[in-house]
């Protein structure tokens, strides 16, 4: 069974913030939320991960709800190069396998 649920597709205007939601209502206490993206014809790329606190790095911000049942990946100023499929994944850290769901296909529109 899929551990996460994401919308299949989203559009975002170039320069605006892209907010990608993810539901993970069955997440366990030791599981982290990870985000990867796959730009066309490339291997997936790690973006960010978090446990329960909000996280930010040079690529994105991750907002996790207090009950940890959902999260949002925020790309603050989307560019055309951010057009990709974004995968939300939950996994524990102890060498747990990375299992991909269908992801969200984000299209950044000029």
Partner 1 sequence: SAVISQKPSRDICQRGTSLTIQCQVDSQVTMMFWYRQQPGQSLTLIATANQGSEATYESGFVIDKFPISRPNLTFSTLTVSNMSPEDSSIYLCSVFGRDSNTEAFFGQGTRLTVV
Shortest distance, position 10 Cβ to partner 1, whole Å: 16
Q: Restricting to residues 41-80, which ones interact with partner 1 according to CB under 8 A?
A: 42-46, 49
Q: Which residues within the stretch 79-98 sit at the binding site for partner 1 (CB under 8 A)? A: 85, 87, 93-95, 97-98
Residue found by looking up tokens 């939601």 in the block: 21
Nearer to partner 1, 17 or 46 (CB): 46
Find the binder of partner 1 among 18, 88, 103, 108 (CB under 8 A).
103
Provide, rounded to whole angstroms, the least separation between the CB of residue 1 and partner 1: 13
Output 49 or 72, the one with its CB closest to partner 1.
Answer: 49
Q: Which long-range contacts (CB under 8 A, 24 or more apart) does 100-105 make?
A: 100/36, 100/44, 101/2, 101/3, 101/4, 101/5, 101/6, 102/6, 102/8, 103/6, 103/38, 104/6, 104/7, 104/8, 104/9, 104/10, 104/20, 105/8, 105/9, 105/10
Binding residues for partner 1, rule: CB under 8 A, are 36, 38, 42-46, 49, 85, 87, 93-95, 97-103
């Amino acid at each position: 069974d899929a551990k996460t649920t994401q919308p299949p597709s989203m559009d975002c205007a170039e320069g605006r913030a892209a907010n990608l939601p993810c539901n993970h209502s069955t997440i366990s206490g030791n599981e982290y939320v990870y985000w990867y993206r796959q730009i066309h014809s490339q291997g997936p790329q790690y973006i960010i991960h978090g446990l329960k606190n909000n996280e930010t790095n040079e690529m994105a911000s991750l907002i996790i709800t207090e009950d940890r049942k959902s999260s949002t990946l925020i790309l603050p100023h989307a560019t055309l190069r951010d057009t990709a499929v974004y995968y939300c994944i939950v996994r524990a850290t102890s060498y747990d396998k990375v299992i991909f769901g269908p992801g969200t296909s984000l299209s950044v529109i000029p």
